[in-house]
Amino acid sequence: MWVVLWPSIGIPTQVANDKSIQTVAVISISGAIGPAVGDYVAKQILLANHQSQVPALIITLDTPGGLVSSLRDINQAILSSEIPILCLVYPKGARAASAGTFILYACHVAAMAPATTLGAATPVSIGGGSSPPNQSEEKPESPSAMEKKVLNDSIAYIRSLAQLRGRNADWAELAVRDAATLSSKEALEKNVINLIADSPKMLINALDGKTINMGQAELTLSFSEPFLDHRPPDWRDQFISTITDPNIAYLLLIIGIYGLLLEFYSPGFGVAGVVGSICLLVAIYAFQMLPVNYVGIGLIMLGIGLLVAESLVASFGILGFGGVAAFVLGSIFLIDSEIPELRISMPLIYIIAFTSAAFVVFVLRRVLQLRKSQVVSGIDNLIGADAVVEASFCGNGYIRVNGERWAAMGSDEFVCGEVVTVEAIEGLTLRIRKRQEG
């Protein structure tokens, strides 16, 4: 029998002090399963296991799938848990597709809310894209050896989970091999799930007094008016989730590259360089957690290099168009995933590509023109400027112009403190004349 006395952080004081109220942790998986989600779920399961009087942990699930590496991390945490992990596909209308089906099978108790679905767990690389329009449908391409390995490994994995939890292993194989799907009612009839529950609270009530398998032993669950402790991701999990969004990581990469380019072209206070460096390092951290295709990064760098070359060399647009093409292709290839939620948005790619072309070709060219004009016009601006004679002289002497001391020469006699006009520049000597009044 389970007795809970643990006062969790986030539990109201009056609840935490009431020793008769049980506390069940509740975490949520919503959206694509990526590195941030995997880290969040595994950390919460480990935390619940180390808090000795937590009777169970509920995972509410609504996902289209995700990365295999993150799925494996979550399932390893579930399988090694010493407390029951209860999975509920929730709320109504939610789904446990692809990786979500594997998670549901791994949990000690699998449940679904009404009007929810699960299945379609075929590895996306096996599903491939659609065939070209002119390809005959009577002769489909046979899967490669690598695709067969991935498929068979996924089938064996989900069958092992089904056998461990005593659920329908044959349908689990169909979900992987043929992308089969089921509604909540059909899943209950086929022994894919244990029960149907409208909410986490109803799930706990339905499991009160039930016996489940925990490794080699059986455990009878006992819940007496439990308090559901919802544990959302902390700031670190939210930050990782934000930067590992492919679109955010892509924007950080572009900002970082252009920040460094701008600092290189127009050195100043270092703001562009500092911001660019920070964004680039954060983007690198995010991409090492995502399925990145390094050919895509190479094409992006090549595209930016060609666009920069177009701003420096008159190539009649050849380098510019080549740079845009390489940039777009690299952006498309950058994230190696078939899951829409883990790919970079195509409209974002087009916007960044055209903005990059305009930025490099026009803005950087303007920066170069300003730099050149500043260098050329620095000394020439002295012609016609007023200067002050430093000491009386006739022929050669010294004057001060804009706070600088210059050698000067003139055909007249000049007295100390007299205001004169710079007439010409001859090497490092300024030719001066008397100032014309009026």
Please confirm, yes or no, whether 98 is among the known catalytic residues.
Answer: yes
Active site residue 185: no
Alpha-carbon distances of 66 from 29, 122, 198, 241, rounded to whole Å: 11, 12, 25, 13
Name the token pair of 312: 């420096």
Query: Taking Cα atoms as reference points, which of 123, 39, 27, 122 lies closest to residue 73?
Result: 39
What are the residues facing 386 on neighbouring strands?
421
CB atoms within 10 A of CB 131: 12
Of 19, 92, 148, 149, which is the active-site residue?
149
Query: What DSSP line would sit under 78-99, residue for residue?
Result: HHT-SS-EEEEE-STT-EEETH
167 token code pair: 């659920």
The span from the CA of 86 to the CA of 59, in Å, is 6
| Residue 232 to residue 40: CA distance in whole angstroms | 9
**What's the CA gap between 67 and 29, in Å, rounded?**
14
Spatial separation of the C-alpha atoms in residues 52 and 54, rounded to whole Å: 6
- Per-residue b or e along 399-428, where b marks 16 or more CB atoms closer than 10 Å to that residue's CB: bebeeeebebebeeebeeebebebeeeeee
**Which residue among 28, 81, 98, 356 is the active-site one?**
98
Residue 32 exposed, middle or buried by CB count within 10 Å (0-12, 13-18, 19+): buried
* Residues involved in catalysis: 98, 149
